[in-house]
Chains A and B, each alone.
Chain A
């Protein structure tokens, strides 16, 4: 199905060493446009490290990452974001003492006018930009949860985990990235909350054109429901790929998860 299309994100022999520990081992991985790709594997198999290397938080030890045709290996986190990759974090990294709106605007950095003169002196222009961005942020939050959109100027610390995840995803989406990296969005939530959040992600995916998602997840139910394809990692290597059904049947995958008898 995706064989003759060009991948949006491709890693080629990507490696990451932490001292003697091999976190990513010659990883080749391709993500195609408009796909939802599940990245699965046991704890410590290198899933989050893959995100961190792609987004420039860690430098790669070897290999290459290409995004949208351009080489983005070892670009700064800032440059990766500007190129159109946004992410969420495993341990939700929102600024809890700031409002929902503030947090979402942090994700909108590249689309806001950051000039000193504009911000401090041209307050009328600033006001217009502020109002326009407020409307945009509110519409986005409304897709997730309409009541939440009425509370844009309340501190995030007052909201439960599911709302915080929603806010975090909004923060990643507001700048209209081409690729969204979701790092275990179900962490810390109940089963029902997870289902709800996945519905939200579907809704957003429908609304936003040209959005490709890579999702790291431990809840296999989630993976089964939302992904078009899966890649299974173990010890930093790709051990299997295909649809969820194919992957779940694979003996190597079962071994990685359940161990060898």
Chain B
């Protein structure tokens, strides 16, 4: 009885999560291009119908009330998908890539989702994390978990060189500063022989306490799981921390400061807000997360080259934030899944994917500027109600 009373209010959320999981599995299983196109159309229709008949609102209400349940369900969903494809390298690489991109975009979300500091060099900061991992794993014996953190710290440190121009300029102009930095970064990598030049660098796979991440997981005689499962698990743990961190930032006076600064610097300064301090905080923390994601990505891929970190890649990161819903971490998750998985599966659009992203961003900005999942008002303490 009590278990029931506990479960029933959560039912819409659980059903929705199960539905989405099955849908993603289907999307990943189906190989025929027609089948995938049909699934995508069906997905859009299902969402529209759910929205039309209020089901989406009910699901949203459940998750707004209990976002711990949402966290749990999403982790379960990722593990289910991983379990389902346990030996499929290709699919699991995609899942891991999605996780890592979400971490990177959480960093961008702190920067321009909350504080309004535009950063069009996301791929460069991601790249700094990657190259830090490459150099450290090849040349030193630094434990690999420390390498992850080092990737983030390097990105934050190098980002601090950009602080002066970013703080002295506003909106569009500071965006141009970051674009210039991104371009410089790629050119620097291409001409720098120590960092492998255009050929790039090899990166060692992750190894934590003797556990070799790049070996398939063998249990008993006849069970063998793809080594990408290792990276998915570590990725999920890192993502969990990053997500909780970003959430807590939002649900505190700090999140309020960042919003106040983004919306009206003059008014915020009139009430004592130190604009410089909070811009530095947001920019540095954001770069840290992006660099951390980069370090994990490099160790998973085993090989990195300057072509992974172009202006186009930065734009993908920005599109994810715009598409998902500026300032809404869950929007990022949805948008990343769409932007990573759909082009991989629909071979027909592979070549045109930038065109497609651009079209999607334009459509979103025109018709739903707050993104697919608009950011809700701040709740400082989930479930808290005034007495």
Number of interface residues of A (CB under 8 A): 42
Residue contact B267 to A89, C-beta cutoff 8 Å: yes
Shortest distance from the beta carbon of B110 to any chain A beta carbon, whole Å: 12
- Determine which of A77, A81, A87, A95 lies in contact with B263 in the assembled complex, contact meaning CB atoms within 8 Å: A95
Residues A81 and B377 in contact in the complex (CB < 8 Å), given A102-B259, A119-B252? no
Residue contact A77 to B381, C-beta cutoff 8 Å: no
Residues A87 and B252 in contact in the complex (CB < 8 Å), given A95-B260, A106-B260, A138-B386? no
- Determine which of A76, A102, A134 lies in contact with B256 in the assembled complex, contact meaning CB atoms within 8 Å: A102
Residue contact B253 to A127, C-beta cutoff 8 Å: no
- Determine which of B252, B257, B274 lies in contact with A120 in the assembled complex, contact meaning CB atoms within 8 Å: B252
Shortest distance from the beta carbon of B152 to any chain A beta carbon, whole Å: 16
B303 at the interface (CB under 8 A from A): no
Q: Which of B342-387 contact A (CB under 8 A)?
A: 377-381, 384, 386
Residues A98 and B259 in contact in the complex (CB < 8 Å), given A89-B267, A107-B271? yes
A126: chain B residues at CB < 8 Å are 252, 380
B268 at the interface (CB under 8 A from A): yes
Residue contact B256 to A130, C-beta cutoff 8 Å: no
Residues A127 and B381 in contact in the complex (CB < 8 Å), given A98-B259, A109-B273, A134-B386? yes
A225 at the interface (CB under 8 A from B): no
How far apart sit A106 and B262, CA to CA, in the bound complex (Å)?
12
Which of chain B's residues has its CB closest to A108's CB?
Answer: B271
Shortest distance from the beta carbon of B354 to any chain A beta carbon, whole Å: 31
A110 at the interface (CB under 8 A from B): yes
Residue contact A105 to B377, C-beta cutoff 8 Å: no
Residue contact B378 to A99, C-beta cutoff 8 Å: yes
Residue contact B253 to A114, C-beta cutoff 8 Å: yes
Residue contact B245 to A106, C-beta cutoff 8 Å: no
A190 at the interface (CB under 8 A from B): no
A203 at the interface (CB under 8 A from B): no
Residue contact B381 to A98, C-beta cutoff 8 Å: no
Residue contact A77 to B256, C-beta cutoff 8 Å: no
Shortest distance from the beta carbon of A12 to any chain B beta carbon, whole Å: 23
- Determine which of A98, A120, A127, A175 lies in contact with B249 in the assembled complex, contact meaning CB atoms within 8 Å: A120
Shortest distance from the beta carbon of A88 to any chain B beta carbon, whole Å: 10
How far apart sit A82 and B257, CA to CA, in the bound complex (Å)?
16
A89: chain B residues at CB < 8 Å are 267
Residue contact B377 to A114, C-beta cutoff 8 Å: no
Which of chain A's residues has its CB closest to B267's CB?
Answer: A93
B268: chain A residues at CB < 8 Å are 106
A116 at the interface (CB under 8 A from B): yes
B269 at the interface (CB under 8 A from A): yes
A110: chain B residues at CB < 8 Å are 272
A152 at the interface (CB under 8 A from B): yes
How far apart sit A76 and B274, CA to CA, in the bound complex (Å)?
10
Binary interface profile of A, 171-194, with partner B (CB < 8 Å = 1, else 0)? 100010000000000000000000
Which of chain A's residues has its CB closest to B248's CB?
Answer: A120
How far apart sit A259 and B269, CA to CA, in the bound complex (Å)?
39
A208 at the interface (CB under 8 A from B): no
Residue contact A120 to B272, C-beta cutoff 8 Å: no
A112: chain B residues at CB < 8 Å are 253
B245: chain A residues at CB < 8 Å are 120
Which of chain B's residues has its CB closest to A130's CB?
Answer: B380
B307 at the interface (CB under 8 A from A): no
Number of interface residues of B (CB under 8 A): 29
Shortest distance from the beta carbon of B266 to any chain A beta carbon, whole Å: 7
B264: chain A residues at CB < 8 Å are 93, 95
B73 at the interface (CB under 8 A from A): no
How far apart sit A114 and B260, CA to CA, in the bound complex (Å)?
14
How far apart sit A81 and B386, CA to CA, in the bound complex (Å)?
29
Which of chain A's residues has its CB closest to B260's CB?
Answer: A106
Residues A78 and B273 in contact in the complex (CB < 8 Å), given A106-B268, A130-B381? yes
- Determine which of A57, A78, A98 lies in contact with B272 in the assembled complex, contact meaning CB atoms within 8 Å: A78
- Determine which of B267, B270, B272, B378 lies in contact with A102 in the assembled complex, contact meaning CB atoms within 8 Å: B378
A98: chain B residues at CB < 8 Å are 256, 259-260, 263, 377-378
Residue contact A77 to B270, C-beta cutoff 8 Å: yes
Residue contact A114 to B248, C-beta cutoff 8 Å: no
B263: chain A residues at CB < 8 Å are 95-98
How far apart sit A110 and B253, CA to CA, in the bound complex (Å)?
11
How far apart sit A100 and B149, CA to CA, in the bound complex (Å)?
39
Residue contact A123 to B248, C-beta cutoff 8 Å: yes
Residues A106 and B267 in contact in the complex (CB < 8 Å), given A78-B272, A114-B257, A120-B254? yes
Residue contact B253 to A113, C-beta cutoff 8 Å: yes
How far apart sit A134 and B274, CA to CA, in the bound complex (Å)?
23
Which of chain B's residues has its CB closest to A116's CB?
Answer: B254
How far apart sit A65 and B313, CA to CA, in the bound complex (Å)?
52
Which of chain A's residues has its CB closest to B253's CB?
Answer: A112
Binding site for A on B (CB under 8 A): 245, 248-249, 252-254, 256-257, 259-260, 263-264, 266-274, 281, 377-381, 384, 386
A-B contact list, 14 entries, CB within 8 Å: A57-B269, A95-B264, A95-B267, A99-B377, A99-B378, A106-B260, A108-B271, A112-B253, A116-B254, A119-B249, A119-B252, A126-B252, A138-B386, A152-B386
8 tightest Cβ-Cβ pairs between the two chains A and B: A119-B252, A95-B263, A93-B267, A109-B272, A81-B272, A77-B269, A106-B260, A120-B248
Since A78-B272, A81-B271 are in contact, a sample of 11 more A-B pairs with Cβ atoms closer than 8 Å, ordered by chain A residue number, is A98-B256, A102-B256, A106-B260, A110-B272, A119-B252, A120-B252, A127-B381, A127-B384, A134-B386, A154-B377, A175-B271
